[in-house]
Structure 1
Amino acid sequence: MTAAQAETAHHQHQQILKVLTGLLMGMFVGNLTGTIVGNALPVIVAEIGGTQQQYTWIVTSTILASTAATPIFGKLADLFDKKKLLIASMVIFVAGSFLAGLSTSAGMLIALRVLQGVGMGANMVLTQIIIASIIPPRQRGRYNGYMGAVIAVATVAGPLIGGLIVDTPWLGWRWTFWIVIPFMIAAMAVIIRGLEVPGTGRPGAKVDWAGAALIILSASLLLMWVSFANHEFAWVSWQSGAMVGGALVAAVAFVLVERRASEPIVPLSILTNRTTSLAILASLAVGTALFGTNIFLGQYFQIGRGLTPTVAGMLGLPLVLGLLVSSTIAGRLVTASGTWKKYTVTGMALLAVGMAMMGTAGATTSLALISLYLLIAGVGLGASMQNLVLAVQNTVSIGNVGVATSTVTFFRTLGGAIGIQVLGALYTVRVTALAREGFAAQGVDASGLDASTSSLDLSVLSAPLEQAVRDAYGNGIGLVFVVAAVFGVIGLVAAALMRGTTLRSTWDVPETSERVIQDVVASEPERDGAAEARVGAGDRRVSDSDARVGAASQPGTAEPAGGRRPAG
């Protein structure tokens, strides 16, 4: 690369970073919302009179809504204006956050968290799609490192900010919802002023609403089943059969509808691709570990160990530090080498090891050891999470990058939602059993005790009984992470079986390169730089052919806008 080319590439990199400021700020707020509330939940639920089951649903409702929004907005991004969709998602998020802060009951909070979740899910997936639309896969690794850093900062800032808010009397827990609003508005302003996204829409395209409804119905029934089973009805009962059967019927109907839809929400060709299907399986494991860790660590530290929300937030720093460092380093290594598999497999292995080590945690385990375990798990998450998305994006054309991205994100979020319910149910059963033993040791009949319906306000208990409950929460956490480790091993196997492909330096993929995609222009960095210029500088626009392909001298190697070839 000549000095002039290097200078041009540097300038275009700066242009991309300016636009990424707004995009990543929105992503930061979305991640912050989950972590800031998670650490404050014990205080929130105790104040508004919620139960353990409602505690879980305050989180799950948001994840369910986010899950439902992901494939819909992912497909809409392939059909319509991505920028307008992103702004709409931000408006929905701001409205949901403001109203959630006004909640007066657990039921009201759960309902408004659904609205917040729709905006959050749409914002998160649209951000990834837009970044994929303006940066080729080969260069995307370094920017995935930036995304990982944003996730890490939000993860560490969330618990700390949430803890400080609920520990500050003149603020109160409602500000855990309101504090994110100014940041999202600022991100919206940056995006409105500076973002330009290349058009890949299909004029006159029809949205597959039937497919969207069926995939939401199937996921919702499955989540409701794992939430209500063992509480409202038995695991083996007609209610369980109806919900599981309904979910399966909806899933089969979804497949039939997608086979006939002109613009399917999730094209079956993407699902049957080996890389995508295995990435989905690995993403389920990542989602379970990521969401489950964030949610139940708060209960463990605050209830099981008797620590304040602020201290509990600080104890999550090792997880975030590992995620921050590994995502940044792995992102740069992926860009430099053009490969992703070895980093993903290593990350999944470390994640499984970290979860297994956390399975030994109890009420008296050294906090230093727990910090080490979380650090290992964080390194694993950082090295694997975004690379799974990148691997799938590398197999599709620019016209399908939205649906491909949303598919992996959808299953990662769904895995997290199901994981929270399954892990929460196991945690509840374990805590109930241990608490009954503790009460019995104090000569108290606890045969009717059920942690899922009992109040989390421990101040109403005598000192011995309060300690018995704290010990139950402290010693019960190990089971949660043992199960999470099993999911991690499944994800590791899936990642190991994925076909390692070379990241290409163009946006579009040839129709014939389903199996192994070559980096067709790795030796021509000036073309990558020219393609990157399409981010938004009005005075640095590039031709459609360069922006789409990055190699105008190689006709026939890329599809036109929209990912389709003209007939004939």
Structure 2
Amino acid sequence: MTTATEARPAAGASPTAGPMSHREILEALTGLLLGMFVAILSSTIVTNALPTILTDLNGGESAYTWVVTSTLLATTATTPIWGKLADLTSKKTLVQIALVIYVAGSALAGLSQNIGELIAARTIQGIGVGGLTALAQVIMAAMIAPRERGRYSGYLGAVFAVATVSGPLIGGVIVDTSWLGWRWCFYVGVPVAALALVVLQKTLHLPVVKRKVKIDYLGATLVTAAVSLLLIWVSLGGNEFAWASWQTALMVPGALVLGLLFVLVESRASEPIIPLALFRNRTVTLATVASLFVGVAMFGASVFLSQYFQIARGNSPTASGLMTLPMIGGLFLASTLSGKIITATGKWKRFLVAGAFLVTVGFALMGTARADTPYWHLALFMALIGVGLGMTMQNLVLAVQNTVKVSELGTSSSTVAFFRSLGGAVGVSALGAVLGHKVTDYLAEGFRAIGVTSTGGDSGSLPDLDALPAPVRTVVMDAYGHAAGDVFLVAAPFALLAFVAVLFIREVALRTSNAEPVPAPTPAAPAAASEVENGADPAPVRAPIVADEPRPVGVAAAPAPAAVSTLPRRTSRRPGRHEAGRHEATRRGARRKAEHDRP
């Protein structure tokens, strides 16, 4: 297998320059951050618009879950593939392909005429989003040393926060503006993605590694099938069929069998989609577990915030987006400030521990939410969650990247993102099922209290509060408020499990370079006493032969070791005063010993 390397300098940097300046890195990251903005925007812009979209397309609570889950599932399934490709081919080309796929999915989502078409289009979007989210971390790791990466991970977190806060606001404004309509929630990201494509072409220049690409498609298919089957069971169980039914007897064992087959295939694949050897690294294993549970809590609970504000509290989509500002503000500040402090001090574990703890406390407190809970209470609880997520998400990836080989950055980063997305997909489905069951129970209880026998909720459609009479409207708002609080409370133990996993991660000093560590040469055997006594030079030490590898942009090449001849050398210099004295003393000692031994 041959490897051709074409190293191009980053914008504004010369090929022989040392580490890139702050300005040069920001120029190179501009298009990448725009792509990340688009990816997050596609996930958040739809949250406040979903009640309106599903009302227009006649969708119910299960459809609400699957419009979100389909994107997360596609992101989950394709993230490891994008990460593996990043280790094998051009990262820049991959980002551009991911953007094109995202644009196609967005256009199709805007043209959807029913729930099925919308879910399919969102799946295509998820494939593109998987590439953008995985490759953003990989490219940053290829350009920036771990010690400096915390600062720029903070910028990535800030972009995440801005996209998260602007998404619901933009979606709410679009839905509330009658002449636009909800379809523009999907069209609005297209021009931003096109701009990102142009900027990426001009500013992002990375080493291009060309070698034979071998993707483990069987492993990717098996893990997708296992997760999909599990999510279908969680989403439909209790609604379409009973939990104790023949469908459950088929789906649950089927998902387990597919999971075991996936592990077997990965253990034998030459280029596995998720290398099992990575999990021999304690940091990778614990960070992956923590990412899984953070994903369950973060995606699973936060997705239903807009539904809580719109149905339980009767707010408009725009107002619902504004009400999530405390969480987004906490995320923005925590990710930015923690990144700068990590770069300055090199200490990162304290932020992981504090962040996971705050996420746990925040979700536990949000479990007390009801339809009439004072907003300032909710604002404080959401701020705690935002601060915790800001200190946790990016730093879990940083911890993993700091402990693996440079050649494994793509695979390891995508593995963490894979399990976070997997946790999100499972969380949205599982907590969506919890929400649906709780709403049904609380509605039945509330209607019995006011003497109403027909709930009108058997169709599974989301309620239109404006069309309900006052007593029924109050019951519906109370039911959704109480059910949302239960969802947050269920999410808290998952955050607690992430906190426990983080506690056991061992802190390793951040590397100051992206270069692979070179093993120290084996010291030569001591020269013979006679050679030293006669003033001979010790045997030269051969420098280790290191194969040429593409050097990450911004990392200065290490100076080549000086050539050392292996031929005998003639010593032409005259011995110094100390050397001459030492040799003379040695000769006198030898003469005295010879005279003593003479018979």
TM bucket, shorter chain: 0.7 to 0.9
Q: Is 1:74 the equivalent of 2:80?
A: no
> Corresponding residue for 2:474?
467
1:462 to partner: Cα distance: 2.9
Counterpart Cα distance in 1 of 2:227 and 2:435: 22
1:502 corresponding residue in structure 2: 509
Q: In the TM superposition, what is the alpha-carbon distance from 1:46 to its structure 2 partner?
A: 1.0
Aligned match of 2:433 in 425, 428, 431? 425
Bigger helix fraction? 1
2:198 paired residue among 189, 202, 205: 189
Q: Which residue of structure 1 lines up, in the alignment, with residue 115 of structure 2?
A: 106
Q: Please tell me whether the aligned partners of residues 440 and 446 of structure 1 are also in contact (alpha carbons under 8 angstroms).
A: no
Shift in Å, 1:302? 0.3
2:136 to 117, 127, 132: 127
Q: Which moved more, 1:384-393 or 1:500-509?
A: 500-509
**8 Å Cα contact 2:85-2:213 kept in structure 1:** no
User: Alpha-carbon deviation of 1:290?
Assistant: 2.1
| Distance (whole Å) between structure 1 residues aligned to residue 518 and residue 217 of structure 2 | 27
Structure-2 change in CA distance of 1:310 and 1:512 (3 Å): farther
SS in 2 for 1:38: coil
Alpha-carbon distance change, 549 to 159 in structure 1, aligned in 2, over 3 angstroms? closer
Unaligned runs of at least 5 residues, structure 1: 1-7, 514-541, 556-568
1:56 matched to 2:78? The reply is no
What is the aligned counterpart of 2:225 among 217, 228, 232? 217
- Residues 387-418 of structure 1 deviation map (CA, whole Å, 9 limit, x = unaligned): 00111111212211111011000100110111
The one-letter code of the counterpart of 1:137 is: P
Establish whether residue 374 from structure 1 lines up as the match of residue 373 from structure 2: no
Which runs of structure 2 are paired with 1:417-566 in the superposition (5 Å)?
A: 417-446=425-454, 449-450=457-458, 453-510=460-517, 550=556, 552=558
For 2:46, the equivalent position in structure 1 comes to: 37
Using the TM superposition, name which of 226-235 and 384-393 deviates more: 226-235
1:29-62, Cα deviation, whole Å (9 max, x unpaired): 1111111101111111111111111111111111
Quote the Cα distance in structure 2 between the aligned partners of 1:351 and 1:512: 41
Give the letter for the 1:346 counterpart: A
Are the counterparts in 1 of residues 142 and 552 from structure 2 also a CA contact under 8 Å?
no
In 1: Cα distance, 2:90 partner to 2:18 partner: 27
Task: Answer yes or no: is the 8 Å Cα contact 1:22–1:190 preserved in 2.
Answer: yes
Cα distance in structure 2, aligned partners of 1:351 and 1:333: 20
Alignment of 1:247-396 (within 5 A): 247-396=255-404
How far is 1:339 from its partner? 2.5
User: 2:161 pairs with 152, 161, 174, which one?
Assistant: 152
* 342 and 457 in structure 1: CA distance in 2 versus 1, 3 angstrom threshold: same
1:279 positional shift = 0.8
Q: Which runs of 5+ in 2 are unaligned?
A: 1-16, 521-547, 562-599
Q: Residues 110-137 of structure 1, C-alpha deviation per residue, up to 9 Å, x if partnerless?
A: 1111111111111111121111111111
The total of aligned residue pairs comes to 518
- Asked if structure 1 preserves the Cα contact closer than 8 Å seen for 2:206 and 2:552, the reply is no
CA distance in 2, matches of 1:253, 1:143: 39
CA deviation profile, 1:12-45 (whole Å, cap 9, x unmatched): 2211101211100110111111111011111111
CA distance in structure 1 between the aligned counterparts of 2:30 and 2:214, rounded to whole angstroms: 33
Which residue number in structure 1 is paired with residue 535 of structure 2? none
Q: Name the amino acid aligned to 2:90.
A: D
Q: Assess, with a 3 A threshold, how the Cα gap between structure 1 residues 386 and 491 changes in structure 2: closer, same or farther.
A: same
Give, in whole Å, the separation in 2 of the partners of 1:113 and 1:546: 34
TM-score, reference length from structure 2: 0.83
The aligned counterpart of 1:534 is: none
In 2 relative to 1, CA 544–268 (structure 1 residues): closer, same or farther, beyond 3 Å?
closer
Task: State the TM-score, normalizing by the size of structure 1.
Answer: 0.87
Which deviates more from structure 2 when the two are superposed, residues 544-553 or residues 371-380? Answer: 544-553
Larger Rg: 2
Q: Give the direction of change, closer, same or farther, for the CA distance of 1:308–1:406 in structure 2 (3 Å limit).
A: same
* Offset at residue 272 of structure 1 (A): 3.0
| Aligned positions of 1:76-95 closer than 5 A | 76-95=85-104
**Is residue 2:186 matched to residue 1:180?**
no
Name the residue aligned to 2:35: 26
Amino acid paired to 1:476:
A
Partners of 1:186 and 1:423 in 2: CA distance: 36
Alignment of 1:169 with 2:175, yes or no, is no
Instruction: Tell me the distance in 2 between the aligned counterparts of 1:511 and 1:474.
Output: 59
Instruction: Output the CA distance in 1 between the equivalents of 2:389 and 2:235.
Output: 26
Across the aligned residues of Structure 1 and Structure 2, the Cα RMSD in angstroms comes to 2.2
Contact 1:546 1:552 in 2 (8 A): no
* Structure-1 separation of matches of 2:146 and 2:228: 33
The 3-state SS of whatever aligns with 2:352 is helix
Cα distance in 1 for partners of 2:294, 2:102 equals: 24
CA gap 1:269/1:374 in 2 versus in 1, 3 angstroms:
same
- 2: distance between equivalents of 1:10 and 1:296? 44
What is the letter of the counterpart of residue 514 of structure 2?
W
**Residue 338 of structure 1: how far off its partner (Å):** 1.6
Shift of 1:544: 5.0
Tell me how far apart the structure 1 counterparts of residues 551 and 441 of structure 2 sit (CA, whole Å): 65
In 1: Cα distance, 2:549 partner to 2:238 partner: 60
Q: What displacement does 1:356 show?
A: 0.7
Give, in whole Å, the separation in 1 of the partners of 2:557 and 2:361.
43
Contact residue 301 and residue 427 of structure 2 kept, 8 A? no
Q: Distance in 2 between matches of 1:444 and 1:78?
A: 62
In 1, the alpha carbon distance for the partners of 2:553 and 2:131 equals 26
Q: Is the 8 A contact 1:132 1:401 kept in 2?
A: yes
Distance 1:174 1:488, change over 3 A: same
Corresponding residue SS for 2:238 = coil
Q: Deviations over 1:301-330 (max 9, x none)?
A: 000000111111001000011000010111
Structure 2 letter corresponding to 1:498: I
8 Å contact kept, 1:164–1:309: yes
C-alpha distance after superposition, 1:112-168 (max 9, x if no partner) = 111111111111111211111111111110000000100111111111111111011
